[in-house]
Amino acid sequence: MPRTKKIQAVLTPGAPEPIGPYSQAVLAGGFLFCSGQIPLDPKTGQIAATDVEGQTRRVMENLKSVLEAGGSGLDRVVRTTIFLKSMNDFPKVNEVYGSYFGEPAPARATVEVARLPRDVLVEVDAVAIV
């Protein structure tokens, strides 16, 4: 018997519209796969802050909106990746990021990258259960 593949895209006005051929998130197999969020204000499309703490807060609020639109939430995140323009910002990003999660904290990878979209300082993606 063939297996049916049901994949559903998630789109919410609570996070920036995709700036390319991708979905804010995709729901598949009981998991929500969230695309990386950068610190764009969803209402203006502009970068929300110049400092890494403010950018991280905006990223996490965008991610929270996508998760909720997909029927999940920060408390159901199982894996994240943090992309940083500079690993020197790790302590500040870690403090803001950590304030959004309880226990158990999600599994995570953090990497420094050469450049991020719109030259922002931080981007975070996530996988959550629904």
Residue 74 lies in a domain: yes
Residue 63 lies in a domain: yes
Give the per-residue pLDDT at 4: 58
Residues of the chain under the 70 pLDDT cut: 1-4
Residue 1 lies in a domain: no
Residue 62 lies in a domain: yes
Residue 49 lies in a domain: yes
What CA–CA distance (Å, rounded) separates 37 from 18?
9
Q: Which domain CATH number covers 42? A: 3.30.1330.40
Residue 24 lies in a domain: yes
Q: Strand 107-112 to strand 77-84: parallel, antiparallel, or no bridges (unpaired)?
A: parallel
Give the per-residue pLDDT at 3: 58
Query: Tens digits of per-residue pLDDT, 13-26?
Result: 999 999 889 999 99
The residue range of the domain holding 70 is 7-129
Handedness of CA 32, 36, 42, 48 (dihedral sign): positive
Q: How many domains does the chain have?
A: 1
Q: What is the pTM of this model?
A: 0.94
Residue 2 lies in a domain: no
Give the per-residue pLDDT at 1: 46
